Each structure stands twice: as C-alpha cells, then as structure tokens.
C-alpha cells in the first residue's frame, strides 16, 4: 500500500501541497484523507482511479491556481464537472483532478432571458432554478448529469428538436486556458475558442462560467412514456419510423428498449418485463400536444400509457432511477441513417437477450432545430442524422464483465450497415483516435488541431476525447 501511495503521489510531496494550499480557497483531498474514496468516485462504477490530489475549486481563481500548480509540477490533469462521462476522464491515476462540482452558482436574467451558470451544476439543479422563472434550455434527460462536460460536447435532450443543442444556445463562456489565463469566449471575443468549446470537449480549457439563452417552457409540459411489450415492438417501430418523419418540432420522441420497473405506477403484469418505451414530450401548448399525440395513443394500443401533463422538472428526472450511479457501464453509440425492418429485427433480438435487465438500447430522434444550424458553425457534427443509438450495457456483477461488454459490441457491429459512420463525442468510451475523428470528420478535426496548437500546444488538457496538437 505504501508503495502504491508513493506511485500515486509522485512529484507531489507534502511541502509542495501545503504551499499550494495557501493559494487555494477550496478543499484539497489527498490519498488517505477520509473523503478521498468518495471524492474519486464517478457515475461509471467501472472507473477506479487514484489521483494524487483532488482540488475542489470554489471559483475561477481556484481553477487558475490549480492549473498553474499542475503545470509547474508537471502533473497530469483531469477536469471534473458532474462526473457523469462514461469514459471516466473526469478522474486520473496519479495527477490532479480539478474538481468543479462545488461551483454551483446560477443567476437568471428574466428580462434578457439568459442564465449565467457555474460548471458544477447538474441539469436537475439548473432546471430547478430556471423553471422558477418559467424558462428552460435543451439539456440532459437525466437530472444528475453535469451541465459542463455535457455542454462542451454539444448536448441534446427533449427540447432539442424545437430549440437546438445546448451549444446552440451558448452565448458566451469564461475559459481558463492551459497557460492559466482567463479568456472570455463569445461570437465577438476569442471567437475561435468560442467555436472550439461548442463540441470540441474539454480540449481547449476549463469553462468556469457559461452564459445561455433561455426559452419559455412549462412549468407543466405534456410528456411521459407509452410502454409496449417486446412482442409488439416491431410493428410499433414500423409505425413510428414513418410517423417521426413528419412530426412537428415540438414533439420529441425517444425509444428505449428497457425493463419495466417494479414501481406502483406500472401494472403488475408488466413489471420486470422487457418493454419498448416510447418516451414523448411536447414543447408547446398542452391541448395541442394532446391532439397531436392522439394517433400514438391509439396505435397498439400501448400496454401502459403514462403520458400526461406534468412538471417539466418531473419529466427531466423521469429516467433517473433507471440510471443509478456506481454500476458497471460499457457504452457503444452511433448515429443512424434510419431504421428499416432488418434493423428493427436486430434491435428486438438484442433487446430480448440483454445479459442484464439494467441494460438498455436508447434511440433518440433529432433533426428539427438541430439540423437548421449550419454544420461548420460548431465542432458538434452530424446534424443531419435523424437518429442516434446509444447501447448501454449496465450490470453489477464484475465477474460478468465479458458477456455484458460483448453484448454491446455485438449489437453495435450488427447495426453498422445502418449507421452514418459518425459518433457523438459525449457517448464515447476510450475508443481510439479514429473514433474521435469520426465525431468531427477530417476537415473539422484539422480545424480543431489548429485550435489545439494555438490554445494548448503541450496537450495539458489530455484527459478527454483528445485532439492531439501537432502537425496537420
Ligand atoms: C445517465 C446519463 C444520461 C445522459 N444523457 C444525455 C443526454 O440526454 N444528452 C446528451 O447529450 N448527453 C447525455 N449524457 C452524456 C453526457 O453528455 C456526458 O456524460 C457529459 O460528459 C457529462 O458531463 P459531466 O460534466 O457530468 O461529465 P464529467 O465526467 O465531469 O466531464 C466529462 C469531460 O468533460 C470535460 N469537462 C468537464 N467540465 C468541464 C469544464 N468546466 N470545462 C471544460 N471541459 C470540461 C472534461 O474533459 C471531462 O473529462 C448522459 C450521460 C449519462 C451518464
């Protein structure tokens, strides 16, 4: 253990850390401290890394000091927002975690319809504050996800068909760069950096404050799930395939091959069974939404109809119980050109043979406002892809890693003929340089490398879906 601890804390002896402490307002957590094991945990239970130091920042100055300290002491750096990223880059072995999770300030300007937000907020916390004023922003469909890593990767949710990606609503950001400067990034200031952080991930610096445009939404919105037995999934997806091509932008549809929970609102005969969940939300007048979703309610009909007017914050946390922290997680994702009968057969087959009931296949329907923004406006790409599939393998028994990982990989291989070849950077595990390139395409990737050369030539920010600096 002593040997392991020495390796972890390499280059960071007590005296150096004590000196740093004098310049730091937040909390410093080291191996051996009582909160250390809790502080190094992230959402994906598969990630078990041991940083030499966790620097829990209170504000931008702490972030600047942590960056300067890490650079001076040649330490590997990981940046943690909400700690939800499945790849586990929010924490490192050895080195320093610059932990933003306690930076939770938010200020709403109800007149300008904007929000100034610190990077430690989760979507649940963000929604709570903005909804008090009747506003929302396209954000994650799980309330515990962090806004920071989410935003710098692009970000989509139930409101995206109507209001675009999260980055399409980003007006400005404060960014601490690798040399310890704090830069304002917006359309008019450091506009190249502003371009880079709208999908280029954490490659260019640490965002200490985001300014977002807000939209009037809720506080009550029509949404929820329709559940169908797996035996009916094929005809339901055939119906939705055609239906989704012509629906209005207010209507958002996500499909989930999931296990029906054992919960009081689910009829007993459905509990614990594999089902197709059609997750619906309507970002418009409730009566209009009720009219528009009539054909959906009639088709089948569904076994369980849980679609009703509900608080937007309830809709946004509806899936939380299905994605608890600490489970083993292995994901594979891809954008889909669409789905034909063959794809549907594959999905139903793999849904039936999930090795773990917690595993799921989620398909999101995008386009709409996402596709109205020009492709070169942001690093986030593949705006013309109608669907995105996320194959989520989730299990708890670590002796069963192999079969659970295999299930996700096999399904991913099977859907390749229907995939666009593009991938969403926020759903990537550690999958190699080709997959990072696939998130952007060659031309944009080269633009990102040029930006990396300018803002982070030493690859100080390397714990991410890394864009390596160097020759183009
Ligand atoms: C259950 C679940 C549901 C999800 N649902 C959605 C969804 O609906 N839509 C969607 O688009 N995505 C979704 N995601 C994916 C999500 O976008 C990513 O996991 C995202 O990285 C989470 O952000 P975070 O701050 O929690 O992550 P972290 O793990 O803390 O950070 C991820 C990475 O982002 C970078 N980063 C973090 N903070 C900053 C910062 N302040 N400045 C610069 N870089 C930073 C770092 O490189 C870091 O490694 C979901 C993930 C999970 C686990």
* Residue at which a domain ends, from 33, 64, 99: 99
Distance between CA 345 and CA 133 in Å, rounded? 45
| 260: DSSP letter | P
Distance between CA 128 and CA 143 in Å, rounded? 10
Which tokens belong to 233? 């999934």
Our measurement of the distance from residue 411's CA atom to the centroid of its chain's CA atoms, rounded to an integer in Å, reads: 21
Integer angstrom CA distances of residue 32 from 22, 36, 272: 20, 7, 42
176 pLDDT more than 50: yes
Range from 8-17, 136-145, 175-184 carrying the lowest mean pLDDT? 8-17
**Residue 406: which domain range?**
220-427
Residue written as token pair 């962090």: 146
192 pLDDT more than 50: yes
155 CA closest ligand 1 atom index: 11
Outline where DSSP puts E strands in 2-63: 27-29, 53-56
Residues with CB under 6 A from ligand 1: 43, 79-86, 89-90, 100, 119, 140-142, 145-146, 148-150, 152-153, 155-157, 201-202, 206-207, 323, 426, 463-464
Asked if residue 461 is part of any domain, the answer here is no
CATH code, domain carrying 144: 3.30.465.10
7 pLDDT more than 70: no
* pLDDT at residue 353 in the model: 96
Mean of pLDDT values over 59-65: 98
Total domains present in the chain:
3
DSSP 430-463: S--HHHHHHHH-HHHHHHHHHHHHHH-TT-S--S
Q: Could you give the count of Cα atoms lying within 13 Å of 245 in the half-sphere of its Cβ?
A: 8
Phi, psi of 150 (to 5 degrees): -55, -50
- In this structure, the answer to whether residues 67 and 173 fall within a common structural domain is no
* pLDDT at residue 3 in the model: 54
* pLDDT at residue 241 in the model: 86
Largest CA distance in the chain: 70
Mean of pLDDT values over 3-29: 82
Higher pLDDT, 9 or 216: 216
Our measurement of the distance from residue 191's CA atom to the centroid of its chain's CA atoms, rounded to an integer in Å, reads: 24
Tell me the pLDDT tens digit for each residue of 107-116: 999 999 999 9
Q: 308 forms bridges with which residues in the sheet?
A: 223
Of the pLDDT bands very low, low, confident and very high (cuts 50, 70, 90), residue 43 is very high
Asked if residue 434 is part of any domain, the answer here is no
Mean of pLDDT values over 434-457: 97
* pLDDT at residue 4 in the model: 56
- In this structure, the answer to whether residues 250 and 191 fall within a common structural domain is no
- In this structure, the answer to whether residues 188 and 270 fall within a common structural domain is no
Asked if residue 442 is part of any domain, the answer here is no
Mean of pLDDT values over 381-387: 96
- In this structure, the answer to whether residues 182 and 322 fall within a common structural domain is no
Residue nearest ligand 1's atom 16 by CA: 150
Question: What's the chain's Rg over C-alpha atoms?
Answer: 22
Q: Is 82 left (phi over 0), alpha (psi -120 to 50) or beta?
A: alpha
Distance between CA 461 and CA 398 in Å, rounded? 31
Which tokens belong to 14? 């007590």
CA of 356 to the centre of ligand 1 (A): 24
Mean of pLDDT values over 231-238: 94
Which tokens belong to 196? 């880079």
Integer angstrom CA distances of residue 232 from 123, 339, 391, 401: 34, 16, 20, 30
- In this structure, the answer to whether residues 192 and 210 fall within a common structural domain is yes
Asked if residue 435 is part of any domain, the answer here is no
Asked if residue 187 is part of any domain, the answer here is yes
Residue nearest ligand 1's atom 33 by CA: 149
Tell me the pLDDT tens digit for each residue of 340-357: 999 999 999 999 999 999
* pLDDT at residue 1 in the model: 47
Residue nearest ligand 1's atom 44 by CA: 202
Asked if residue 269 is part of any domain, the answer here is yes
Distance between CA 435 and CA 168 in Å, rounded? 23
CA of 200 to the centre of ligand 1 (A): 12
Tell me the pLDDT tens digit for each residue of 253-291: 999 999 999 888 888 989 999 999 999 999 999 999 999
Residue written as token pair 């601890």: 5
Distance between CA 78 and CA 96 in Å, rounded? 6
CB atoms within 10 A of CB 82: 26
- In this structure, the answer to whether residues 209 and 115 fall within a common structural domain is yes
124, 145, 428, 429: residue to mutate for ligand 1 pocket, most atoms within 8 A of CB: 145
Residues of the chain with pLDDT > 70, as a percent, come to: 98
Distance between CA 354 and CA 184 in Å, rounded? 47
DSSP 54-92: EEE-SSHHHHHHHHHHHHHTT--EEEESSS--TT-TTS-
Which tokens belong to 382? 């593949």
- In this structure, the answer to whether residues 271 and 316 fall within a common structural domain is yes
- In this structure, the answer to whether residues 263 and 211 fall within a common structural domain is no
| 293 contacts: CB under 8 Å, gap ≥ 6 | 222, 251, 280, 282, 307
Which tokens belong to 373? 């923004």
89 pLDDT more than 50: yes
CATH code, domain carrying 300: 3.40.462.20
91, 103, 140: residue to mutate for ligand 1 pocket, most atoms within 8 A of CB: 140
- In this structure, the answer to whether residues 304 and 414 fall within a common structural domain is yes
106 pLDDT more than 50: yes
Q: Are residues 149 and 90 in contact, defined by beta-carbon separation less than 8 angstroms?
A: yes
Tell me the pLDDT tens digit for each residue of 107-155: 999 999 999 999 999 999 999 999 999 999 999 999 999 999 999 999 9
Q: What is the mean pLDDT of the chain?
A: 95
Of the pLDDT bands very low, low, confident and very high (cuts 50, 70, 90), residue 244 is confident
Element containing residue 258 per DSSP (H, E):
strand 251-259
CA of 286 to the centre of ligand 1 (A): 31
Distance between CA 154 and CA 168 in Å, rounded? 8
- In this structure, the answer to whether residues 282 and 329 fall within a common structural domain is yes
Which tokens belong to 301? 């009909």
CA of 411 to the centre of ligand 1 (A): 24
Q: Are residues 11 and 70 in contact, defined by beta-carbon separation less than 8 angstroms?
A: no
Mean of pLDDT values over 165-191: 98
| 332 contacts: CB under 8 Å, gap ≥ 6 | 391, 408, 409, 411, 412, 429
- In this structure, the answer to whether residues 290 and 204 fall within a common structural domain is no
Order of strands, sheet of 114-117, starting from the edge strand that comes earlier in the sequence: 106-109, 114-117, 206-213, 170-176, 182-186
Mean of pLDDT values over 236-256: 91
10 pLDDT more than 70: no
41, 83, 84: residue to mutate for ligand 1 pocket, most atoms within 8 A of CB: 84
């Amino acid at each position: 253990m002593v040997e392991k601890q020495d390796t972890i804390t390499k280059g960071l002896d007590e005296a150096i850390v004590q000196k740093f402490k004098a310049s730091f307002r937040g909390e410093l957590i080291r191996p051996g401290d009582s909160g250390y094991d809790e502080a190094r945990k992230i959402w994906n239970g598969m990630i078990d890394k041991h940083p030499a130091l966790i620097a829990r920042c209170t504000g931008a100055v702490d972030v600047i000091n942590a960056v300067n300290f890490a650079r001076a002491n040649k330490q590997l750096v990981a940046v943690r927002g909400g700690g939800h990223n499945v790849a586990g880059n929010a924490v490192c072995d050895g080195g320093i975690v610059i932990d933003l999770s306690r930076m939770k300030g938010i200020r709403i300007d109800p007149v300008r319809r904007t929000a100034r937000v610190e990077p430690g907020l989760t979507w649940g916390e963000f929604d709570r504050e903005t909804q008090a004023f009747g506003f929302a922003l396209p954000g994650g469909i799980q309330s515990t996800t962090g806004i920071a890593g989410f935003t710098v990767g692009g970000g989509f949710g139930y409101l995206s068909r109507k209001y675009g990606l999260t980055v399409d609503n980003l007006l400005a950001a404060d960014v601490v760069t690798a040399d310890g400067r704090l830069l304002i990034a917006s359309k008019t200031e450091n506009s190249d950096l502003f371009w880079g952080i709208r999908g280029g991930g954490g490659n260019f610096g640490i965002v200490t404050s985001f300014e977002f445009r807000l939209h009037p939404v809720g506080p009550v919105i029509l949404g929820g799930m329709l559940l169908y037995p797996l035996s009916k999934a094929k005809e339901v997806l055939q119906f939705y395939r055609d239906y989704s091509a012509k629906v209005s932008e207010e209507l958002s549809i996500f499909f989930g091959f999931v296990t029906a929970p054992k919960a009081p609102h689910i009829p007993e005969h459905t509990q614990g069974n594999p089902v197709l969940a059609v997750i619906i939300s309507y970002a418009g007048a409730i009566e209009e939404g009720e009219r528009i979703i009539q054909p959906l309610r009639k088709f089948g009909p569904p076994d369980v109809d849980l679609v009703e007017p509900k608080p937007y914050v309830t809709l946004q946390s509806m899936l939380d119980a299905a994605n608890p922290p600490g489970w083993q997680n292995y994901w594979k994702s891809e954008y889909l050109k669409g789905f034909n009968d063959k794809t549907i057969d594959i999905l139903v087959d793999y849904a039936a043979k999930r090795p773990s009931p917690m595993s799921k296949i989620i398909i999101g329907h995008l386009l709409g406002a996402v596709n109205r923004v020009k492709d070169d406006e942001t690093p986030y790409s593949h705006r013309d892809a109608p669907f995105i599939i996320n194959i989520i393998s989730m299990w708890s028994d670590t002796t069963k890693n192999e079969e659970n990982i295999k299930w996700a990989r096999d399904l991913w291989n099977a859907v390749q003929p229907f995939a666009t070849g593009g991938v969403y950077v926020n759903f990537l595990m550690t999958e190699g340089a080709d997959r990072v390139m696939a998130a952007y395409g060659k031309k944009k990737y080269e633009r990102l490398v040029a930006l990396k050369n300018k803002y982070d030539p030493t690859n100080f920010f390397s714990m991410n879906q890394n864009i390596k600096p160097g020759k183009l």
